[in-house]
Amino acid sequence: MTHIGIFFGTDTGRTRLIAKQIAKKLRNTADTPINIGRTTVTDFLAYDALIVGSPTLGDGMLPGKSTGLSQPSWEEFLPQLAEADLHGKSIAIFGFGDQKKYPNEFVDAIGLLHDVFVARRARVVGRWPTSGYDFTSSQAVDGDEFLGLALDRHHQPALSEERIDTWLAQIKPELLP
Ligand SMILES: Cc1cc2nc3c(=O)[nH]c(=O)nc-3n(C[C@H](O)[C@H](O)[C@H](O)COP(=O)(O)O)c2cc1C
């Protein structure tokens, strides 16, 4: 497929809103965002370029039954990729977190998703500088970069839009060369 597929997990709906905002900004190059708990591996694998989003819940966990969700989410979807080969696919990850309340697990979900996709041989694009954030540790960090776009609607809501625009400009040529 020549379109970008957008898949998200969510608890209270903010990640879905951002996914929709990203789709709108990408206009006709992206398809309508899909809740990862309501899709199939076949539909996910239909895309060679993907943007995926997730909040971090629990203490540094992906959303799913273990974090109290009544619907399946990333926790239930990822094991279904165990046999999948993602070679040739490019994936950009964005994540929501709270750097003040969870300074030791800030946007961990980005790192958890990254590791699964890389283990399945995908190319993960869209790293983002850690400067401008205030946290202690995160599974989403490599050196001085996050492994995807980190957003914090609790403490830096005014920065999100500009961060998204800059990040999209960066990843677009990598997702659709
Ligand atoms: C129970 C709970 C646990 C959370 N745990 C973390 C965490 O470990 N790390 C983090 O960065 N943010 C954490 N957060 C903050 C959420 O990621 C943040 O509120 C996010 O915007 C929720 O997105 P959603 O509306 O798509 O569910 C937690 C929030 C809740 C309610």
The domains of the chain are located at 4-175
Handedness of CA 166, 132, 50, 173 (dihedral sign): positive
CB 137 within 8 A of CB 130: no
Domain 4-175 homologous superfamily, CATH: Flavodoxin domain (3.40.50.360)
Q: Is the pLDDT of residue 1 over 90?
A: no
- Full-model pTM: 0.98
Mean pLDDT of 64-83: 97
pLDDT of residue 177: 78
Pocket test for ligand 1, best of 96, 141, 149, 156 (most atoms within 8 A of CB): 96
> Looking at ligand 1, which residue's alpha carbon is closest to its atom 21?
96
Index of the ligand 1 atom closest to the CA of residue 55? 17
When the pLDDT of each residue in the chain is averaged and rounded to a whole number, the result is 97
pLDDT of residue 2: 76
**In sequence order, which residues have a C-beta less than 8 Å from that of residue 104 and are 6 or more positions away?**
60, 135, 136, 137, 138
pLDDT single digits (tens) 9-25: 999 999 999 999 999 99
Closest CA to 93 of 160, 146, 16: 146
